Amino acid sequence: MYSSSYGSYGGSSYGSSYSSYGPGGYTSLYTSNYNTPSFPSVLGLPPATGRYNDISSRYSDVTIYPTPISYRSPLLNPKRGLSVQRGNSVPPTFDTSRPPTRGSSIVRREMKKKEEENHINIRLKSPSIPRERTRDELIDSIIHTRTKEHRVMPGFKSTSDFVERRHLKVDCDKVYEGIIIGNGETICNIEYLRGVGVTHVLNTAEHHVVVNPSKYSCYGIKYYGFHVDDLPGENISRYFHRTTDYIDKAVKNGGIVVVNCVMGWSRSATCVAAYLMMKHGMTATRAIETIRQSRPIRPNAGFLQQLADLENTLSKRISLFWKN
């Protein structure tokens, strides 16, 4: 049952094709006209008959110069390519004196690192460039400076804590000579203010601590107020010059000024710290520590950043003054 099909594949058709591509046919195919130049032989390929002769005859007027193809060419051996011999590789070297070429990210990083180090060294060594204060340093000063829980309020002989002060509806502390920081209830108690000799009141939260300014003038107390919300995004620095001048006039004339907000912790403390920096040459860290030794202040992060900016501005002005 397999003789017919096997004969068709191996007898006539398979046999005839094998004779043409067999040992005799294969040799005659590539040995005939071997010395005759043709188009494949110019390209470095073995000459062949048939359609290649037609191509060579069609382009007989074109002169083709053969290019020798090495057996090491990456076209013939794409896996090896043009790599160096094994064992003779040399680690790459980078010349930082020349500008980096495209793709040399390592050189760029090294040069940028050296520039940053040199810039830092210049800022640390040069006395004409002041060191900038950061908000985090002020936060550390607040954390590491402790305030006594039981303190003596102005006009009292015994100490009191936060609960007792809330019961008395008076909560204030003397933080510097002639300066008292208190809460909103303190400035509402005019009898207490007269008893401790207060001559000036600075209200930093008029919308939250509502008072009658004309009432203070009846008792010989000067009043100045404005409103800033106790939020990090609020700009309290725009009042630094006015509040500083107001406090400075009160202290220089021998008076006592009470600076208040709702709790006496953030807005009022920020204005007093700005006064100590602008009039007494304190740094922001020292001003906050000085106030916090007498009262547990904690300005918000936005106000601390504005105090740091104030110190940086003042230090730059001083450096320019001595430079000129």
Q: What is the DSSP string of 256-300?
A: -EEEE-SSSSSHHHHHHHHHHHHHH---HHHHHHHHHTTS-----
Catalytic residue among 172, 188, 261, 271: 261
Name all contacts of 280-284 with Cβ < 8 Å and 24+ positions apart: 283/133, 283/311, 284/133, 284/138, 284/308, 284/310, 284/311
Amino acid sitting at position 165: R
Q: And the tokens for 302?
A: 């936005």
Taking Cα atoms as reference points, which of 226, 255, 263 lies closest to residue 241?
Answer: 226
Taking Cα atoms as reference points, which of 243, 162, 250 lies closest to residue 205?
Answer: 243
* Distance set, CA 215 to CA 66, 92, 212, 247 (Å): 111, 83, 5, 20
**What is the enclosing helix (H) or strand (E) of 312?**
helix 301-323
Taking Cα atoms as reference points, which of 274, 276, 263, 281 lies closest to residue 308?
Answer: 274
Place of tokens 């007792």: 164
Three-state DSSP class for residue 222: strand
* 188 is annotated as an active-site residue: no
- Return the active site residues: 261
